[in-house]
């Protein structure tokens, strides 16, 4: 056999033997020694932890206290916003700031719009005019002053209905400093539901 062929066979057998030794060494290392985990590469600044997320529940129509409990239990912060309503039951959730089913970060502030009743009418008026809600009265009915004590020039006024500090009602709201100037100044606005 030529010397060149012998050398190639020796190299081939030597390579196989080295490979078998390496595999045997790895097998022993894996079986006999604890598994070592390579250290993660070091970076200049640690990466921020991803904030957990949850699915937004549907709390519409729920009592506010129950809705707040359901949301705080999932890690949300709850903010309340009141809205006058003649049709919804008081303390029921009318709107939520995040859509039900959406994925939201834990800790997000959720605003709940909650129904509150329209305040009772003052002075027994048939129109439901009150102190708390909802729009200013710009065109009062002709018999307004049969339910409210009005200034003499009430029906000559422009603006919206206000009560002056002396208790009389005027149609001069919205004119700045001049509102109720002859009646000790502005006290409060009257509203129509």
Write out pLDDT tens, residues 148-187: 999 999 988 889 999 999 999 999 887 667 789 889 999 9
Cα–Cα distance for residue pair 142/190, rounded to 1 Å: 16
Residue for token pair 């190639």: 8
Stretch 12-24: mean pLDDT, rounded? Answer: 61
Q: What is the DSSP secondary structure assignment for residue 52, as one 8-state letter? A: P
Domains and CATH numbers, the chain: 53-116 (3.30.10.20), 135-192 (no CATH)
DSSP result, 126-187: TT--BSSSSEE-SS--TTGGGTS-B-TTGGG--SEEEEETTS-EEEEETSGGGTTGGGTSEE
pTM of the predicted model as reported, rounded to 2 decimal places: 0.57
What is the pLDDT at residue 30? 45
Q: Which of 146, 140, 132, 176 is nearest to 161 (CA)?
A: 140
Query: pLDDT, tens digit, for every residue of 51-65?
Result: 799 999 999 999 999
Are 54 and 103 in contact by the 8 Å Cβ rule? The answer is yes
Paired strand residues for 63: 92
85 φ/ψ angles, rounded to the nearest 5 degrees: -150, 135
Are 80 and 64 in contact by the 8 Å Cβ rule? The answer is yes
Are 122 and 147 in contact by the 8 Å Cβ rule? The answer is no
- Give the full edge-to-edge strand order of the sheet including 93-96: 77-84, 109-116, 93-96
Query: pLDDT, tens digit, for every residue of 100-114?
Result: 999 999 999 999 999
Q: What is the mean pLDDT of the chain?
A: 84
Four-CA torsion 181, 156, 162, 91, nearest 10 degrees: -170
Percent of the chain's residues with pLDDT above 90: 61
């Amino acid at each position: 056999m030529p010397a060149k062929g012998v050398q190639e066979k020796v190299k081939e057998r030597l390579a196989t033997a080295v490979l078998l030794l390496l595999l045997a060494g790895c097998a022993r290392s894996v079986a006999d020694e604890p598994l070592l985990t390579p250290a993660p590469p070091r970076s200049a600044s640690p990466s921020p932890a991803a904030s957990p997320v949850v699915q937004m529940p549907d709390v519409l129509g729920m009592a506010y206290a129950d809705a707040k409990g359901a949301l705080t239990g999932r890690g949300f912060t709850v903010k309340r916003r009141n809205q006058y309503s003649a049709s919804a039951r008081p303390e029921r959730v009318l709107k939520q700031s995040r859509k039900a089913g959406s994925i939201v970060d834990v800790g997000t502030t959720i605003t709940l719009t909650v129904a509150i009743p329209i305040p009772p009418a003052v002075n027994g008026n048939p129109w439901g005019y009150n102190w708390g809600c909802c729009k200013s009265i710009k065109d009062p009915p002709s018999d307004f002053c049969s339910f409210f004590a009005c200034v003499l020039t009430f029906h000559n006024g422009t603006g919206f209905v206000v009560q002056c500090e002396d208790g009389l009602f005027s149609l001069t709201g919205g004119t700045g400093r001049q509102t109720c100037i002859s009646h000790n100044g502005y006290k409060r606005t009257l509203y129509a539901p």
